[in-house]
Amino acid sequence: MTEHDHDHERTIAPMVDEVTDFEVLEIALRELCIEKGIFTAEEHRRFTEFAEQIGPAPAAHLVARAWLDPDFKALALAEPMTASKEVGVDWLEPTGFGTPSDFTAFEILEDTPELHHVIVCALCSCYPRPILGNSPEWYRTPNYRRRLVRWPRQVLAEFGLNLSDDIAIRVQDSNQKHRFMVMPVRPEGTDGWDEDQLAAIVTRDCLIGVALPKPGVTSNVITDTRPAVHPVDGRNT
Amino acid sequence: FHGDGSRIERNDHHIRAVGKGDPQVFAGRAGEPGFRTGDPVVVRDMPALLYTRTPEYVRGATGEIASVAYESPAAEDETWDRPDAQPEWFYVVRFRLSDLWCGYAGPATDTLQTELPERWLEPAA
């Protein structure tokens, strides 16, 4: 066999070097469920597509529209799922009764100059996925879940949000079927802005409550993490 | 039967809830709510062997009803798929953080809200 017997250019390389245990189990579980009729392959595809198209943009537009239109704001606070439809989110999708894990009991928490809300799910990672997309990784960590309910001001300070003592903090633990989202106060310096301009500064983090919208800031918080202390070798690396 | 979920018994709940949503599918089945917005309540300290959704940090604490939320079977029953689970009223309950945590350092106006089914609540004295 010579080196010209096959075409290196056309050799298909594997996408990944190895398949993880998690992937093996995922395939086993999915194929068994389909085989036994627990769900169909078509249903699995539809849920995957649903999970891939959700994101925080509808929630940001809901807030921006509420800032611009007092009637819409009143609707958003009184009937949040009706208001969600106006930004393209039907909470009854994708099954006709909502998603099995997010339910259909959505509520919007309105901040005021004297009150700031922040959400958490101390029991797991409950999050208003249909309108806000998938939860950030840090939101699911035991660290955030354990500390936010006890030391909210310190946790918010780590996100760069330092609130004075004359602003009350209200932590909302989503431990049952309600899902919550924060409607922040419209910031100064946004006079005359249209819905798209306003929606651009309402980031996912603002809707969770770990950040406040700010003109010029259109991306999520990047925190300065302190380096870990390693007492064993005495290094601060 | 292969690949067909129509005869899977546990899909019944989903079929009942289509067009309504969950918890709306349980509306009207819990009777009159035992508490109203503003009522002071104490969280009971009930046994929670194997499963509960009432956080340990509110057991025995006094708060007030922030809103009457919806009707639903309690998670403690739903999680075992109990067929006879009776829907009950759920409430968003507001606590002062200084009442929950010994030595809370923030201002007295800081609060926490969590949601609890009626079985976990009793009127505050």
User: Mind spelling out the 3-state secondary structure of chain A?
Assistant: CCCCCCCHHHCCCCCCCCCCHHHHHHHHHHHHHHHHCCCCHHHHHHHHHHHHHCCCHHHHHHHHHHHHCHHHHHHHHHCHHHHHHHCCCCCCCCCCCCCCCCCCEEEEEECECCEEEEEECCCCCCCCHHHHCCCCHHHHCHHHHHHHCCCHHHHHHHCCCCCCCCCEEEEEECCCCEEEEEECCCCCCCCCCCHHHHHHHCCHHHHHCCCCCCCCCCCCCCCCCCCCCECCCCECC
pLDDT surpassing 80 at residue A17: no
The ipTM assigned to this model is 0.94
Q: Is A125 annotated as a binding residue?
A: yes
pLDDT surpassing 80 at residue A169: yes
What whole-number distance in Å separates Cα of residue A221 and Cα of residue A218?
A: 10
Provide, rounded to the nearest whole percent, the portion of chain A with pLDDT above 90. Answer: 82
Whether A117 and A109 have beta carbons less than 8 Å apart is answered as yes
What whole-number distance in Å separates Cα of residue A214 and Cα of residue A206?
A: 10
Distances (CA, A) of B49 to A84, B52, B114, B116: 38, 8, 21, 17
Residue among A35, A105, A170 whose CB faces B111 most closely: A170
Among A33, A101, A121, A164, the active-site one is A121
Domains of chain A are 21-50 (no CATH), 55-208 (3.90.330.10)
What whole-number distance in Å separates Cα of residue A169 and Cα of residue A156?
A: 10
Mean pLDDT computed over A141-145 = 96
Query: A173 and B53 in contact by Cβ < 8 A?
Result: no
Strand ordering across the sheet containing A115-120: A115-120, A168-173, B111-117, B88-96, B62-72, B40-43, B121-123
Mean pLDDT computed over B99-109 = 96
Task: Give A-chain residues touching B54 at CB under 8 angstroms.
Answer: 175
CA-based nearest distance B70→chain A, Å: 8
Task: Give B-chain residues touching A105 at CB under 8 angstroms.
Answer: 21, 23, 69-70
Residue among A97, A168, A178 whose CB faces B17 most closely: A97
Pairing relationship of beta strands B62-72 and B111-117 according to DSSP bridges: unpaired
Q: Is A121 annotated as a binding residue?
A: yes
CB pairs under 8 A between A and B: 116
What whole-number distance in Å separates Cα of residue A118 and Cα of residue A113?
A: 14
Question: Is A33 a catalytic site residue?
Answer: no
Query: A171 and B69 in contact by Cβ < 8 A?
Result: no
Distances (CA, A) of B101 to A116, A146, A151, B57, B97: 19, 13, 10, 8, 6
pLDDT surpassing 60 at residue A2: no
Nearest CA to B51 among B19, B70, B74? Answer: B74
Residue among A35, A97, A166 whose CB faces B14 most closely: A97
Query: B8 and A43 in contact by Cβ < 8 A?
Result: no
Strand stretches in chain B, DSSP E: 40-43, 62-72, 88-96, 111-117, 121-123
The strand pairing partners of B63, in sequence order, are B41
B50: amino acid identity, one letter: L
Mean pLDDT computed over B37-44 = 98
pLDDT in tens, A189-231: 999 999 999 999 999 999 999 999 999 999 998 877 667 777 7
By the 10 Å C-beta count (0-12 exposed, 13-18 middle, 19+ buried), A101 is classed as exposed
Q: Which residues of A touch B (CB under 8 A)?
A: 34-35, 37-41, 43, 91-92, 95-98, 100, 103-105, 122-123, 149-150, 152-153, 165-166, 168-178
Among A33, A84, A101, A125, the active-site one is A125
Residue among A39, A98, A172 whose CB faces B113 most closely: A172
pLDDT in tens, A96-131: 999 999 999 999 999 999 999 999 999 999 999 999
